[in-house]
Structure formats: structure tokens, C-alpha cells
């Protein structure tokens, strides 16, 4: 969403990971970006310019001197055109040239003319990566203001393990998104601390069983991601761990409601916004079994477990509220607005986001959501059905009363 209509220059240099640039270009185009590609001669030994031309729908520049347009110098025009540049893979060679201001072929001449944010994704043999010269160059480039995405450790083309693999493409795209947000979104939450909770809590029955619910954590993740895009320092307290984290997003994994409450309380005094998107289990086992509970001998025998109510985390935060803005979600299957209004009052919070979880295509576990926001001043905002990430952006705009996030 942040990359929509952004002009992205992809610079591909000559390492074996060059073939992965195809997927990068594809994903950027899919994210709505306008993509143009530059390749070094060495990169074109690994993949053809035609592949990248087809995927980017633009001519690929490979030669500094093939100047067909008399109006422009092509590498300068390219550099000026870009909103963002990514070099992937970035070889030791291009890193060395860039850190020393050398410009002697299409990639290095263009990169020297680039004035917009630029992300370098080094990928090479692990010994080349660890070499003091490469490390010195990377350090210098970081100081010069380049963004760096460290290579992954794993199985290398050489047949052994080491650090040097190009990170998975979704990670490169995520990194570009957070760079784009930093530069193109107003930093409305700069110097603000935000807690976002997500996922359904798990209340243990015994070591292998638990009580939980259908919450996937996606809405909470979207809220946390947008908060980080707006410059906040985010504590993301979640029961799910499969999300890539943004730079200023700290993942705190929890399981039960009590663990979640403990993590929130430790941070609450210094926090500005709490977004309780987690579906907190209302009950837990009175006594958690130390060992796996065995089944009874007789079929249809009644089993009785005692449950005890969990603390209402949000209501307790409401009682101790000072500077914090508190936002809750009301998951309902009937009387949506009425029940949401009741929760807003009883929990003494600022906003409630009412969410109909009875419909299959919105709410729990789905990609889309549709909500109504209510605040303690009586304001009611109905939002149409949309993807959770777009919805999260809208919700933040409403909470911050600042509709200046433009695509």
C-alpha cells in the first residue's frame, strides 16, 4: 500500500542471486509500484534483460553509452525519476565502487546520481561478505545514509553454509515499505510509544491442550505495522509469531491472558496508545493439569473442568488511565453497536472498533474486515469492507484525526 504508484529503480548486479530479482520486480509491480530496472553486464550473464523488461514493463538499461534519447542522459534521467532505489543483489564490487565514489558502468554511474533513499541488499560468498574491505565499505555506506538489509545465513551456491544469501523477497519488499513510509508518510506518531496486542490467547488445559479462539492476529498486526509506518515505537504483544517485524516494532510473544497482561502492565506507564486487538480468552482453567489428562475408561462419561474468569485487561487499563489513548475491539455476533457502546463505557476507553464476527468474509481469520468506530464523545464512523491493512490505516487516521496520509 505504501508502494502504490511509487517509482522504484531496481539495480541488479552480477551475483548468482540475480535470478531472484525477477521475483522482486514481480512483487513490487504487484504492490502497485512503477518499476524500472538497471542491470550490469555481469548480471545479464545470469538472467536476461528481456525477462526483467517483461516483468517491469519497461526497457532495461544495461549500457551507459546506448543513448537513444537525445533529450536526456539516460542514467541521470533514471536516477532523477526514482522515488526509491533498491540494489538487489548488491555484489562486493558495486558496494566497493559506491563507497569509493567510482562510476564506470551503468549501475555505478546511476547510483552516484541517485538522490532518493536507496536500499542495498548485499548477497555474495560468505568470505567475500566477511572480508574487512567489504565490511569497511558497508560501514561507510551506512554512514553515508544508505539503508542496508543484512544477508541471510544459509546454504550458499558454493555448497556450504554461511552468511551471504539474499533475504527472502517478501523481506526486501517489507523493508522497502518501511523506508517508503519513513520518507513519504507524515511521522504522526514520532516519539510516541504504542502497544498493540494481537491473536487469540491460549489458556492451557494440560501440556498439550488449550482453550483458544479463531483470532489470527492479522488485524492487530496491521494496526502495529501502520503505527510503525507513522514513526511510533511499537511493542507488539502477540500470540502469533509468523510476521515479519518492521525496524521499530518489537515482538513480545505471549500465550495466556495473564502473560499478556503482565507484558502490557510493564510498559503501560510510558505508553501513549494501547490498541487491544487481541481476542483475550474470558476464562482459564482453575487448575492446569501438570500432565496430559488421560481419557476415561467409559464412553459418554461426564468430564467436569472448573473455569475461572480472566482479568479484563482493557477495563483495568481504563481504570488506571492517564495520558494513554485506549482503543478496544468489540467482537460481536449480534447487536453490534449497542454492545460496543456498552463496552466503550464500561471499560472507560476512548475508542471501540465494532467488528461483526458472525460473517465469514470479514473479521476473524479473513483478509478483509468491516468495522464501525465509536468514541466516548459519541462520534460514530462506519467504514466499508476493505483489506485489513487499508482498514488499519483508516482507523489510525480517524484516531489521530489527521487524514493527511495520501497515496
Please list, in sequence order, all residues whose beta carbon lies within 8 angstroms of the beta carbon of residue 163, skipping any fewer than 6 positions away.
126, 129, 130, 150, 151, 152, 153
Q: How do beta strands 203-206 and 209-211 pair?
A: antiparallel
Site pattern 240..279 for ligand CTP (x: CB under 6 A): -----------------x------------------x-x-
What is the number of residues in the chain?
407
Q: Does 211 bind ligand CTP (CB under 6 A)?
A: no
Query: Does 213 participate in catalysis according to the annotation?
Result: yes
Q: How many residues bind ligand CTP (CB under 6 A)?
A: 14
Residues 308-347 that bind ligand CTP (CB under 6 A): 310, 312-314, 328-331, 343
Distance CA 175, CA 32 (A): 16
Between vectors from CA 153 to CA 149 and to CA 159, what angle results, nearest 5°?
Answer: 130
Phi first, then psi, for residue 44 (nearest 5°) are -75, -5
DSSP label at residue 68: -
Give the shortest CB-328-to-ligand CTP separation in angstroms: 3
Q: Does 280 bind ligand CTP (CB under 6 A)?
A: yes
Residue (94 or 357) nearer to ligand CTP, CB: 357
Closest residue by Cα to residue 239 from 257, 265, 266, 262 = 257
Minimum gap (Å) between residue 234 Cβ and ligand CTP: 17
Q: With 0-12 CB in 10 A as exposed, 13-18 as middle and 19+ as buried, what is 407?
A: exposed
Grid cell in block for residue 277? 486487538
Question: From the CB of 398, what's the least distance to ligand CTP, in Å?
Answer: 16
Q: Looking at beta carbons only, is 213 or 288 nearer to ligand CTP?
A: 213
- Select 126 or 366, whichever has its Cβ closest to ligand CTP: 366
Q: Which is nearer to ligand CTP, 41 or 342 (CB)?
A: 342
Question: Binding to ligand CTP by residue 235, rule CB under 6 A?
Answer: no
**Considering beta carbons, is residue 202 or 343 the nearer one to ligand CTP?**
343
Q: Which of 125, 213, 368, 382 is catalytic?
A: 213
What the block records as the C-alpha cell of 51 is: 525477462
Q: Which residues does residue 110 pair with via DSSP β-bridges, in sequence order? A: none
| Sign of the alpha-carbon dihedral angle for 187, 188, 191, 192 | negative
Residues designated as active site: 213
Residues that bind ligand CTP (CB under 6 A): 257, 276, 278, 280, 282, 310, 312-314, 328-331, 343
Amino acid at each position: 500500500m505504501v508502494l502504490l504508484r511509487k517509482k522504484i529503480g531496481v539495480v541488479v548486479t552480477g551475483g548468482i542471486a540475480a535470478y531472484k530479482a525477477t521475483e522482486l520486480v514481480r512483487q513490487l509491480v504487484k504492490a502497485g509500484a512503477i518499476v524500472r530496472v538497471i542491470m550490469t553486464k555481469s548480471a545479464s550473464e545470469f538472467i536476461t534483460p528481456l525477462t526483467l523488461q517483461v516483468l517491469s514493463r519497461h526497457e532495461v538499461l544495461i549500457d551507459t553509452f546506448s543513448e537513444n534519447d537525445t533529450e536526456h542522459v539516460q542514467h541521470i534521467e533514471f536516477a532523477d525519476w526514482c522515488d526509491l532505489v533498491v540494489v538487489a543483489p548488491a555484489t562486493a564490487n558495486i558496494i566497493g565502487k559506491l563507497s569509493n565514489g567510482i562510476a564506470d558502468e551503468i549501475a555505478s554511474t546511476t547510483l552516484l546520481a541517485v538522490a532518493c533513499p536507496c536500499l542495498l541488499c548485499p548477497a555474495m560468498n560468505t568470505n567475500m561478505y566477511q572480508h574487512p574491505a567489504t565490511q569497511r565499505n558497508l560501514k561507510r555506506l551506512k554512514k553515508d545514509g544508505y539503508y542496508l538489509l543484512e544477508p541471510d545465513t544459509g546454504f550458499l551456491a558454493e555448497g556450504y553454509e554461511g552468511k551471504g544469501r539474499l533475504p527472502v523477497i517478501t523481506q526486501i519488499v517489507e523493508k522497502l515499505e518501511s523506508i517508503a513510509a519513513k520518507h513519504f508518510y507524515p511521522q504522526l506518531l514520532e516519539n510516541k510509544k504504542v502497544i498493540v496486542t494481537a491473536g487469540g490467547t491460549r489458556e492451557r488445559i494440560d501440556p498439550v491442550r488449550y482453550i483458544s479462539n479463531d483470532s489470527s492476529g492479522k488485524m492487530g498486526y496491521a494496526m502495529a505495522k501502520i503505527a510503525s509506518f507513522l514513526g511510533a515505537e511499537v511493542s507488539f504483544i502477540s500470540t502469533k509469531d509468523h510476521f515479519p517485524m518492521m525496524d521499530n516494532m518489537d515482538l513480545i510473544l505471549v500465550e495466556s491472558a495473564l502473560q499478556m497482561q503482565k507484558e502490557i502492565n510493564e510498559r503501560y506507564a510510558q505508553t501513549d496508545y494501547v490498541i487491544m486487538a487481541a481476542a483475550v480468552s474470558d476464562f482459564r482453567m482453575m487448575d492446569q493439569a501438570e500432565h496430559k489428562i488421560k481419557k476415561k475408561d467409559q464412553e459418554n462419561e461426564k468430564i467436569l473442568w472448573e473455569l475461572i474468569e480472566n482479568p479484563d485487561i482493557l477495563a483495568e487499563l481504563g481504570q488506571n488511565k492517564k495520558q494513554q489513548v485506549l482503543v478496544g475491539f468489540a467482537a460481536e455476533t449480534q447487536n453490534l453497536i449497542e454492545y460496543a457502546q456498552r463496552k466503550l463505557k464500561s471499560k472507560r476507553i476512548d475508542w471501540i472498533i465494532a467488528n461483526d464476527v458472525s460473517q465469514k468474509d470479514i473479521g476473524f481469520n479473513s483478509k478483509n474486515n468491516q468495522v464501525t468506530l465509536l468514541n466516548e464523545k459519541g462520534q460514530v464512523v462506519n467504514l466499508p469492507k476493505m483489506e485489513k491493512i487499508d482498514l488499519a490505516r483508516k482507523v489510525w487516521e480517524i484516531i489521530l484525526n489527521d487524514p493527511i496520509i495520501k497515496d
